[in-house]
Amino acid sequence: MKLTEDRFAQMEAWDSSKRWVKKYFDVERNRNVYEIEHWSKRYDHRHHAIDALVVALTEQSHIQRLNNLNKELQNWLEKNKDEIKLEVKDGESIIEAFFNLEEKRRISIQESIESFRQFDKPFTDLIDQAEQNLKTMVVSHKPKDNLSIQFNEKTGKRELKIRSALHEETFYGKNNGQDTKTIAISNLSASDIKKVIDPVLRNEIDLHRKKYNSMRESFTGEGLKAFNESRFQRKNDVKLKPPVYKLKIYYNTKEVKESSLQRLYDNNNKLSVKTGGNYLFLIMEKDKKNKIGEIEKFRIFDIVSLFDAAQIANDEWKIKNENFKMKIYCDYLIKHKEKPNRVLCSLQQNDLVYYPENIEDPVLKISSRDEFQEWIDINENKTKFCKRIYKVVKFTGKDCFFIPHNYANSISVAKDISDEEKSKLKLEFIDKKIPKQKLNFEEFGSFGNSTKSEPNKAFVLALTQNETGERISKIQDSCIKLNIDWLGNVFPETFKH
């Protein structure tokens, strides 16, 4: 709990109605109380390390003692029942009599025999060592690389492997010159209704969904059954139309002559390739002279689609060049309208980065891996370093979204909303899904499960109070990409050689 305390304390900026972290002395129970509202170990990946440590330190005798606790409790109650004034009624065991006591009295007795549940520490500073190691632990996941050169055991050759769909599975062809797709009616959103091709079906869907609180309720389960059972044929008004489970809709409502999809091959008339999948987030740099003639460096960002990357990789593999990423870098440096001078790094989902605290951050001044290793071997430095490591979650447009490396989930807790307030929200968002942050206290607000900037108190205040003070910088503006070797050592990518 102690390691995640800061996260929950920060939630008070979203929910000022109560204290999320409570520390006080309970006079009645004569003990210090430490409580965190809505706390769960599953918000932090490091709970897996604690589980592993507990398993590693558990001996057979510990398991046997836990199994015998019930018997030990029974023996203790038999021996002390007069002292604790435990009355055993006819037909109940002494254990049943104990658990039938009022809660306050039962807790009082349990605290007096707390030693039953205590185990000797394997060594005296176990807690301190565990805490320090958890503070300096880096949680990493294998980056998702959808393009790679791999050995094919069947053919005995190295081949280019693509691990994501290039073909649009739902593509259905054209209708009046516009691209269409098929989707399940249960996945239909309110904004999709105007894209439904069949005008009669479109009107039926629009009328039916107004009878329910949400699109999901309208077209799943009983709602979907009611919809299909209310659609009668025009010529025979006692006969039902065929039930609808899938339907055709336009990709968008704009009439465009050129398709938003692309051909996979020049001689293939079927436009069945999607380019929306993102492969790399490029961080580039450009040199520019300021007013006094000094060279200033600023970052430029771009996204490489999987489709474009696959084409470049395929062309490079034909000439047996495995380092197709360098070709991607060169192409984007040449083609980019702002003409950057260099590529600093590229990021993929699950990559780790270090976010410097400021321009005086000591990591920025280190020039070699040996120097970095010497610096990070100091526990104080390693603790500070690990607090500023982030994992790439996604990237879209010109922005990359991150989450602290140890976060398993963002904190999301339902608000105590009255029926009247819920009705107002439904009216406000009648054609849309109610935003999650309107119903819940969200750790990252409207950003969802990740954020573009450091999720500190200033970040929360900027969102909750609309403060217009100092600009909140993005992590991508100054982050340093990290590498991890096979021993688990973490270091800046610039020191990998």
Q: Are residues 397 and 455 in the same domain?
A: yes
For 201, the token pair is 């079906």
* Structure-model confidence comparison of residues 488 and 282, the more confident one: 282
Question: Which residue range forms the structural domain that includes residue 57?
Answer: 2-135
For 458, the token pair is 């200033």
- Mean pLDDT on 393-398: 88
- Mean pLDDT on 192-197: 88
Given this model, what pLDDT does residue 85 score?
Answer: 80
214 DSSP assignment: S
Q: Are residues 65 and 110 in the same domain?
A: yes
Q: Is residue 370 scored above 70 in pLDDT?
A: yes
Given this model, what pLDDT does residue 256 score?
Answer: 56
Q: Are residues 47 and 115 in the same domain?
A: yes
CA–centroid distance for 259 within its chain: 33
The 10 Å Cβ neighbour count of residue 383 is 12
Residue 362 lies in a domain: no
Chain mean pLDDT for the chain: 83
Mean pLDDT is highest, among 107-111, 118-122, 342-346, 461-465, for 342-346
Percentage of residues in the chain with pLDDT exceeding 90? 26
Q: Are 162 and 147 in contact (CB under 8 A)?
A: yes
Given this model, what pLDDT does residue 355 score?
Answer: 95
How far apart (Å, rounded) are the C-alpha atoms in residues 343 and 493? Answer: 13
pLDDT in tens, 263-280: 444 455 444 455 557 889
For 79, the token pair is 């021996």
Expressed in angstroms, the distance from the first to the final Cα of the chain is 39
Given this model, what pLDDT does residue 162 score?
Answer: 81
- Mean pLDDT on 232-258: 79
Residue 148 lies in a domain: no
Residue 287 lies in a domain: yes
DSSP string for 297-361: EEEEEEEEEHHHHHHHHHHHHHTT---HHHHHHHHHHHH-TT--SEEEEEE-TT-EEE--SSTT-
Q: Are residues 55 and 98 in the same domain?
A: yes
How far apart (Å, rounded) are the C-alpha atoms in residues 181 and 247? Answer: 8
- pLDDT-derived band at 260 (thresholds 50, 70, 90) equals low
Percentage of residues in the chain with pLDDT exceeding 70? 89
| pTM of the full structure | 0.76
Q: Are residues 79 and 121 in the same domain?
A: yes
Q: Which of 234, 250, 266 is the last residue of a domain?
A: 250
Instruction: State how far the alpha carbon of 476 is from the alpha carbons of 5, 90, 158, in Å.
Output: 27, 71, 35
Residue 26 lies in a domain: yes
For 118, the 3-state DSSP assignment is coil
If residue 414 lies in a helix (H) or strand (E), which one and from where to where? strand 412-414
Instruction: Provide Rg for the chain, Cα atoms.
Output: 30
Which one-letter amino acid corresponds to residue 22? K
Q: Are residues 238 and 292 in the same domain?
A: no
Domains in the chain, number: 4
> Across-strand partners of 171?
181
For 76, the token pair is 């203790």
- pLDDT-derived band at 343 (thresholds 50, 70, 90) equals very high
Q: Are residues 197 and 286 in the same domain?
A: no
CA–centroid distance for 103 within its chain: 40
Q: Are residues 204 and 303 in the same domain?
A: no
